């Protein structure tokens, strides 16, 4: 199973992001979506689970939960916890049996292991912030475990 991981689109879904997410089984959006049209376009690729970011306001934002727990298996995990801002993590991932914490907000892509939990920020796929890269992520789920990768959208032509 391959999971597309995206964050901080801020109303801009680049063609390069769509290209990078082709063929995934599920898309997880870690907030600052920017509007329902972004999620609708992503749903043309695969089912989507999204959380509310700090810029997702109004009726659209109110329709998104601040966090989501997603089972990538059939009732027994692996479990993914999605939150927009890692500083608002409100669970003990290891204690809750979470294999991956997905987050955004900083616009900085990151992959790190803390204890037995993978922490994965796909970076920002929307408007460039300062000199940070424009990226999405992919998460491969197999019997051998979980493997995260950052996809540089600039390498695919994003500017």
Where are the domains positioned within the chain? Answer: 2-156
Look-up of token digits 């995934």: 24
User: What's the pLDDT at 156?
Assistant: 87
CATH for the 2-156 domain, from 3.40.50.970, 2.60.40.10, 3.60.21.10, 3.40.50.720: 3.60.21.10
- Which DSSP symbol is given to 49? E
Q: Report the C-alpha gap between 2 and 138 in whole angstroms.
A: 7
| For residues 110-135, average pLDDT | 95
DSSP letter at 154? Answer: G
What pLDDT is stored for residue 76 in this prediction?
77
- Would the pLDDT of 75 be above 80? no
- Cα 93 to Cα 119: distance, rounded to the nearest angstrom: 10
φ, ψ of residue 156 in degrees (nearest 5): -95, 0
């Amino acid at each position: 199973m391959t999971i597309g991981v995206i964050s901080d689109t801020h109303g801009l879904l680049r063609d390069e992001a769509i290209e990078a997410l082709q063929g995934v089984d599920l898309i997880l959006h870690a907030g600052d979506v920017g509007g329902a049209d972004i999620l609708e376009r992503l749903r043309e690729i695969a089912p989507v689970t999204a959380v509310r970011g700090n810029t997702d306001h109004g009726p659209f934002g109110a329709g998104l939960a601040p966090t989501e727990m997603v089972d990538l298996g059939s009732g027994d995990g692996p479990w993914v916890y999605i939150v927009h801002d890692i500083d608002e993590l409100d669970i003990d991932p290891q204690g809750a049996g979470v294999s991956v914490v997905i987050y955004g907000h900083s616009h900085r892509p990151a992959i790190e292991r803390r204890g037995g939990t993978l922490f994965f920020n796909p970076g920002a796929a929307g408007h460039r912030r300062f000199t940070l890269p424009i990226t999405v992520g992919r998460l491969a789920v197999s019997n051998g475990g979980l493997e995260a990768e950052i996809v540089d959208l600039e390498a695919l032509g994003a500017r």
